[in-house]
Structure 1
Amino acid sequence: MTVIETKLEGCFIIEPKVFEDKRGYFFESFNEKEFQKLTGTNTNFLQDNESYSIRGVLRGLHYQTGIHAQAKLVRVIKGSVLDVAVDIRKNSSTFGQYISFELTEDNKRQLFVPRGFAHGFVVLSDTAIFAYKCDNYYNKESEGGIIYNDPSLNIDWKLPEESLLVSEKDVILSKLENAKL
């Protein structure tokens, strides 16, 4: 695997080594020893999640606080998404900045989102299956979020706002300046 650093400290793009031939392809989607060696992290994933969504579904921007904060390793199994991570570490030199990458079934890229970041994605293809590993269990009392269209972030979601499908829960999230961090 190849690890590519991003402008946000601790966030990495992971590119697996893919073996293809006329039968199809094979790749190792996760190897703890290699991951920890190449990223310098000591992340121990405890839970895997998967979602299925249609074009325009926007999930996020979500995070968990305190002892229930989560690091995530995310990837697309089917389709294409724009994946976004926002630095919400108050003492970080990149606080309030974000990165976005297209993750697809073809490029097989993964994004590692460390603790202290909000995370979200929007589906760019007709449908998408999105998978992520978490290093901590979900805790409802510790969940937080930032509204996807916060003007201070100015995220380009690559789709017209009127075509976005956002849950009732996500459409009432706070702006970054009012978020419980």
Structure 2
Amino acid sequence: MTKLTETQTIILSAGAQRPENIALPLPKGLAGAAAKMAVTKMIEHGWLQEVDANLRKREPLWRETGDGHGTTLVVTDAGLLAIGIEPVVVEAVVAIRKDAAETSAPKLPAATQPKLRTGTKQAQIIAMLQRPEGATVAEMVEATAWLAHTVRGSISGALKKRLGLPIAAEKVEGRGTVYRLIVAPT
């Protein structure tokens, strides 16, 4: 068994306690060339492995790869064994923590569909879109007294994104772009 330095022991021990065995951040005071040398030796021994970082989970970066991605460092099974931890034990502890987090997490109510209010300009636009002939932006501007960009923003933002209404746009000769609310066949 290889003798670990104090720095290597600290890095491996800290990584073993983190989710997914991520070895970063490194101990305070370990930076620059010293950090690179320590990590390089640990990778050579097979105690650490450089893997793609999941930026959505905000995993800490070891280095950037230049294409908008980066890598992070993970303690391997060999690294766990080097500090006297059986990898199976770590997997069991992670599973127990995950189960405990799921059972203790408060249950959030299901997302509710926003309520439509009658008599509003938005309701007017929806009614116009439900007509068989649909409506153009100019017709909706006339009915609501909104500006054209406000009507288009309402269609793409409030109606399509927030309310999830299926709205189609079609170019009609002599009329321009006509918007319609797509009604599913029953």
* TM-score, with length taken from structure 2: 0.22
**Higher share in strand:** 1
**Higher share in helix:** 2
Higher relative contact order (CA 8 A, sep 6+): 1
Query: In terms of Rg, which structure is larger?
Result: 2
* TM-score, with length taken from structure 1: 0.22
